[in-house]
Amino acid sequence: MVELIQIEWCGFCVVQRKILEYSGKPFKIKNIPTTDRSYIWKITRNRYHQVPVIKDGKNVIFETSNESQIIAKYIDVKFNLGLFPRKFGGLQNLIWRHIENDVEIICAKLNDIYFEEFVPKNESLLYLRHKERKYGIGCIEEWKMEQQALLMELEKWLWYYEQMLFEKDFLLGEKPVFIDFDLYGMLGMFLYTNHYKLPSAYNRLIEWHKRMETVKFV
């Protein structure tokens, strides 16, 4: 059985979790502490420390770059889900770059504003230190001050996706493909704290999101 090694609120983990749920096949979840990657380091034989990773029997699958979608492609092939149809080759790559860069960074900052609510107390120092080493001292306080501007920026990016849904149920057609799961994952991180909602004017995105909550591969 496939095992997903994850941190619950990480957008990239939500993507793979949702794909596995969509497949309808049983899978296991192993949550790891955000500040302790030793389990991943061990199973990847000292080659990787990020989440998500999946373990399928003896196979341990992880990404090799920010551009790769190795885990999603592995699950796609294993369960024949059709998430990477040839007709959308190249197009999906362009869109997932936007989702995993422009959309992801805003969702992550908006989520991190509330990190004290969901990161266990004994991990909060290392978590904060990790953020401040990457983004500079006081970054969380800065994002708190910029919260409204960040929400407006996210709304601007989400308008693209609202428009893509004008005449279809999913982003590229009548069935979900990888980018539907990718966007769902980043929004999963944005919505995780329950402090935010999708923009109320974006009816199609809201309907799409509801559809994604329950969609199953048939």
Ligand X SMILES: N[C@@H](CCC(=O)N[C@@H](CS)C(=O)NCC(=O)O)C(=O)O
How do 59-61 and 27-31 pair as beta strands? unpaired
Number of other residues whose CB lies within 10 A of the CB of residue 132: 13
14 binds ligand X per the rule CB under 6 A: no
Q: What is the DSSP letter of 179?
A: H
Contacts (Cβ under 8 Å, ≥6 apart) of 127: 34, 35, 115, 119
Applying CB under 6 A, which of residues 8, 63, 146, 155 lies at the interface with ligand X? 63
Which residue, 50 or 93, has its beta carbon nearer to ligand X? 50
Decide: helix, strand or coil at residue 53.
strand
Applying CB under 6 A, which of residues 2, 10, 14, 212 lies at the interface with ligand X? 10
Applying CB under 6 A, which of residues 46, 66, 194, 214 lies at the interface with ligand X? 66
Shortest reach from residue 31's CB to ligand X, in Å: 13
192 to 211: interface string for ligand X, x by CB under 6 A? --------------------
Q: How many CA atoms lie within 13 A of 203 on its CB side?
A: 2
50 binds ligand X per the rule CB under 6 A: yes
Shortest reach from residue 10's CB to ligand X, in Å: 4
C-alpha 111 chain-centroid distance: 12
Applying CB under 6 A, which of residues 17, 20, 52, 196 lies at the interface with ligand X? 52
